Homo-oligomer: A and B are copies of this chain.
Amino acid sequence: MVNPKPEAAASRPARIDDVAKRAGVSVPTVSRVLTGAQRVSPAKHERVLQAIAELGYRPSGAARTLASGRPSAIAILAGNTSRYGYARTIEGVEEAARAANYLVLIAAIEDDERAGGVAAVDQVLGQSVAGVVVLKFDPPGVAALKALPDTVPRVVVSGQREPNAYQAVIDEALGAGEATEHLLGLGHRTVHHLAVPTTGREDGRTVGWRKALRRAGAEVPEVLGWTWDTAEARRIGRLIGETRPEITALLCGNDELAMGIMRGLQDAGRRVPQDVSVVGFDDHPLSSLWIPALTTVAQDFVDLGRRSFGLLAAQLDSDDNAAARSTVRSRRSSRPAALIVRESTAPPASA
> Taking beta carbons and an 8 Å cutoff, which residues of A are in contact with B?
2-3, 5, 9, 13, 56, 58-63, 65-66, 71-73, 81-82, 84, 87-88, 90-91, 94-95, 98, 101, 103-108, 117, 119-120, 122-128, 146-147, 149-151, 230, 234, 256, 259-260, 262-263, 266, 285-286, 289-291
Q: Specify which of B9, B71, B98, B147 is in contact with A151 (CB 8 Å cutoff).
A: B9
The answer to whether A61 touches B103 (Cβ under 8 A) is: no
- The smallest beta-carbon distance between A131 and chain B, in angstroms, is 15
- The smallest beta-carbon distance between A240 and chain B, in angstroms, is 16
CA distance A58 to B82 in the complex (A): 29
- The smallest beta-carbon distance between A52 and chain B, in angstroms, is 12
Counting every copy of the chain, the complex holds 2
Whether A126 touches B61, Cβ cut-off 8 Å, given contacts A107-B103, A260-B289, is: yes
The answer to whether A234 touches B9 (Cβ under 8 A) is: no
User: 16 A-B pairs, CB-CB below 8 angstroms?
Assistant: A58-B122, A58-B125, A61-B128, A63-B66, A66-B66, A73-B105, A81-B94, A91-B108, A95-B108, A98-B108, A105-B106, A106-B106, A256-B285, A256-B286, A256-B289, A262-B289
The answer to whether A90 touches B101 (Cβ under 8 A) is: no
CA distance A98 to B120 in the complex (A): 8
Closest to A61 in B: B127
- The smallest beta-carbon distance between A146 and chain B, in angstroms, is 6
CA distance A280 to B95 in the complex (A): 30
